[in-house]
Amino acid sequence: MPAPSLLAVFAHPDDESLSAGGVLARHASEGARTAVVTATWSADSPRAAELAEALHILGAGTPHMLGHADARVPHSAPGRPRWCDVPLDEAVRELVAHLRDFRPEIVVTHDAYGGPTGHEDHVHTHRVTVLAAQAAGLERLYPDAGEPWQPSALYLSTHPHTAVRAWGGHLAAVGKALRTVPAERVTATVDVTPWLDRKVAAILAHRTEVERRAAPGLVAALPGPERERLLGTEYYTRHNLAPTAPARTGLLS
């Protein structure tokens, strides 16, 4: 059974590598079509070039950037509205067009908290992606956005409460609290250690964030064993969107 095609939708350049870099690399290595849609930052910014490098490392094709402004960095997309301010229907239509064009079997995005840090762009991306993944298969919704396509499942990148013990001390140093979920909310736990070198290289390709000591900067400062402890497992909550075949071990399907 071939690995299922996968489209990841994340808020910022670097979210894809931090949240789902291992799964993206694994699916690509299994021959699956993989791609990433990024909601913020303009395509002519330095962070777009870093994103292109990271996706090349992960085998996830070329960037698909919606080009809206980061809620906290207005200059990220001059003249464009903040992603959080884009009308919901407009944002959903924009993403539906990408879903119908790429036609993925599974979609990956932030969880309802917006991941451990709860960034407002992450939360908005979650809401838009959940609606778009459902709307993409309905022929009477957004008929101008392409032929209908229904992904089989939506996977939300998340962290169980046990992650507090692993990540808590590192994020506390930069004033960040963790938003995590009970273990029973995690329905897919993926060991990505065979692809960890590729995942870490993709994270470090986001040099702007390394230099300003954001999450990629924290990763850059960690020794190898600590990187494996923090990044070697990815956690997801699955939501079925359509009937699908049984999952293959270690792969989302």
What pLDDT, on a 0 to 100 scale, did the predictor assign at position 71? 96
Asked whether residue 36 carries a pLDDT value surpassing 80, the answer given is: yes
Q: How do residues 72-129 score in pLDDT, each as one tens digit? A: 999 999 999 999 999 999 999 999 999 999 999 999 999 999 998 899 999 999 999 9
Q: Where are the domains of the chain?
A: 6-240
| CATH for 6-240 (1.20.1630.10, 3.30.1180.10, 3.40.50.300, 3.40.50.10320) | 3.40.50.10320
Residue type, 142: Y
| Structure-token pair, residue 251 | 């792969």
Taking CA atoms, 53 is separated from 13, 21, 121, 224, in Å, by 11, 13, 22, 22
Is the per-residue pLDDT at 22 higher than 50? yes
pLDDT above 80 (res 165): no
Tell me: pLDDT of 170 over 70: no
Q: Which pLDDT band, with edges at 50, 70 and 90, does 2 fall under?
A: confident
Over range 136-156, report the average pLDDT.
Answer: 97
Average pLDDT taken over every residue of the chain: 92
Q: Which of 12-26, 128-142, 230-244 has the lowest mean pLDDT?
A: 230-244
> What's the confidence (pLDDT) of residue 168?
52
Q: Supply the DSSP string of 157-183, one letter for each residue.
A: EE-BTTHHHHHHHHHHTTT-----B-G
pLDDT at 167 over 90: no
pLDDT at position 173: 46
Task: Indicate if the pLDDT at residue 176 is higher than 70.
Answer: no
Share of the chain above pLDDT 70, in %: 91
Q: Is the pLDDT of residue 189 over 70?
A: yes
Q: CA-CA distance, 252 to 153, in Å (whole number)?
A: 9
Contacts of 65 (CB under 8 A, 6+ apart): 37, 38, 41, 42, 43, 48, 51
Six token digits for residue 140: 């009477």
CB 82 within 8 A of CB 226: no
Alpha-carbon distances of 28 from 18, 33, 35, 97, 229, rounded to whole Å = 16, 7, 9, 23, 23
- In the prediction, which pLDDT does 243 show? 56
Q: What would you measure as the largest C-alpha separation in the chain, in angstroms?
A: 52
DSSP code, position 184: G
Q: What is the mean pLDDT of residues 131-149?
A: 98
